[in-house]
Structure 1
């Protein structure tokens, strides 16, 4: 599998213009110059691609789609466009270095990993096009103003993340299934002995998603973060154990739930319930 370490080698392979910068590269697709098919390749940078009127070779009679596609380091990606590339659009490429140095500018979207395309409305395409038109002069300028350029990059990434949240609402069947699967795995977690507390990453791995992508879906559908949902469930299980398994003391309950340190369980429970585990048990007796 071919691995591309930089923009220049990848652009040459795909048929895009030579980049002007090693950390930020923006441009417009020119269909007649682009490679129509490719086996999966790896890139060592981030890539946001806006493709307008795209048709795949395996569905040549399908309605063309307009969408945002995302590639991140170490995720393989191939393509087969029919019969030749005819789509237009724009692309933004960001090095790992520029993101690491400016992490405060970037949203969860850049950690979404591999996920479904973001389908754009005409209005959204125009918003993105406008940002590219504003960004391009700063990119092409020999006296590059990186502060302004990075600000526009931040606006673009923020727009894409906002559009994803719009898509979460417009296709509820797909995303409700993810929520249901998350909740199902959460219930199954404590049906076996555990050695640690459940984590967002654990459930993301179970569902084949990145932690940030799963977290944004859960937050959008429940108005609580994935971690808050997990904590709510841990509290329910803690209450059940304190009520039903009276032979277990608080330390044993903590270990049953996967807490490494019993003192942390006591603090966690007090924060969530406003009672210590012992006080909660006493409240049940008083009732």
Structure 2
């Protein structure tokens, strides 16, 4: 397995142009002069790769595809790639430093490489290509237009967001299973004694997904974030315990739900329900 710590070594390996900057690299693919077959690799930076009509010899279905692919630090491409020299495309490479310093510009798609590519329609290719031409223009002018270049990278990421929403909606059955598994995992979590509150990362690990990817799918199909779904479920459990287990006091209910501090449970419940747990119990008992 080969590991690449910087753009220059990776570009040399692939046969791409020398990067002009250590934190951001923008360019076009030139397949006839590039490495077309590779062993497994990892990179210590982020890549957004747009490939148009690429044929992958390593897959049984050799139909050309047009898609956006993502690479991120620690993501292993176990079989590398084996492609025909007939595709076109472009790429953006971003250092970990630039991501951290400009986190507000970047959304969650940079770790999607672990799950799925973004398959583009023809009009989407045209939009991305237009933005990319502007990125190249400002990249080649180097530091004097650095902020403009970053703004266009943000536009590219925003287009990716819109196109992913379209992809999620195109084949909902493929994603409904993830939503169902997430909801079942919530039920399973509270089917036994718990010692702490669950979080999004816990369920992402259970489902073999990244937290960002899980969160985006849950938000798309439920119109609430994964964390909001968890909070809704916890509140429902809290209400059930307060009504059905009258022997449990508020502190005991808090511990049953995994709250470490009962006072935090009371504040959390009041924020969600506009009543304290005690007020809710009294009101519910009064109605009954």
Please tell me the TM-score bracket, short chain as reference.
over 0.9
Which runs of no fewer than 5 residues in structure 1 stay unpaired?
Answer: none
Shift of 1:114: 1.6
- 2:181 is equivalent to residue 181 of structure 1: yes
Superposed CA deviations along residues 106-150 of structure 1, whole A, max 9, x for unmatched, are: 122235462201000000001110011111121112564101111
Q: Distance in 2 between matches of 1:269 and 1:135?
A: 48
Match of 2:133 in 1: 133
Residue in structure 2 matched with residue 79 of structure 1 by the alignment: 80
Higher deviation after alignment, 42-51 or 109-118: 109-118
1:199 aligns with 2:199: yes
Counterpart in the other structure of 1:55: 55
Rounded to whole Å, the distance in 1 between the matches of 2:81 and 2:227 is 39
**1:264 CA displacement:** 0.7
Q: Is the 8 Å Cα contact of residues 41 and 80 (structure 2) preserved in structure 1?
A: no
Compute the displacement of 1:3 (Å): 1.5
Q: Distance in 2 between matches of 1:143 and 1:191?
A: 57
SS of 1:39's equivalent in the other structure is coil
Aligned counterpart, 2:33: 33
Q: Which residue of 2 aligns with 1:42?
A: 42
Give the root-mean-square deviation of aligned CA atoms: 1.5
Checking the alignment, whether the CA contact within 8 Å between 1:182 and 1:207 is kept in structure 2 is yes
Change (3 A) 1:111 1:75: closer
C-alpha displacement of 1:37 = 2.1
Change (3 A) 1:185 1:143: closer
CA contact (8 A) 1:113 1:213 kept: no
Does 1:161 find its partner at 2:184? Answer: no
User: 55-64 vs 219-228, which deviates more?
Assistant: 55-64
Deviation (angstroms), 1:58: 3.4
Corresponding residue of 1:234: 234
Q: Which moved more, 1:126-135 or 1:110-119?
A: 110-119
Residue 23 of structure 2 is matched in structure 1 by 23
Q: Does 1:8 align with 2:12?
A: no
Partner of residue 263, structure 1? 263
Change in 2 beyond 3 A, CA 1:102/1:58: closer
Task: Look up the match of 1:209.
Answer: 209
Cα distance in 2 between the residues matched to 1:150 and 1:13: 26
Matches of 1:183 and 1:99, distance apart in 2: 32
Counterparts of 1:227 and 1:103 in 2: how far apart (Å)? 20
Conservation of the 8 A alpha-carbon contact between 1:45 and 1:95:
yes
- Corresponding residue for residue 109 of structure 2: 109
Superposed CA offset, 1:52-103 (max 9, x none): 1111213465321100000011111243324x33221010000111111111
Aligned to 1:79, the other structure's residue is in SS state coil
Q: CA contact under 8 A between 2:70 and 2:111: conserved in structure 1?
A: no
Contact 2:26–2:92 (8 Å) recurs in 1 = yes
Residues 86 and 190 (structure 1), Cα distance of their counterparts in 2 relative to 1, 3 Å cut: same
Which deviates the most, 156-165 or 179-188? 156-165
Query: For the residues of structure 2 that align with 1:274 and 1:3, how far apart are their CA atoms?
Result: 53
Please give the alpha-carbon distance, in whole angstroms, between the structure 2 residues aligned to 1:249 and 1:129.
61
Q: Which residue of 2 aligns with 1:281?
A: 281
Rounded Cα–Cα distance in structure 2 between residues aligned with 1:248 and 1:227: 26
Cα 1:14/1:177, change in 2 over 3 Å? same
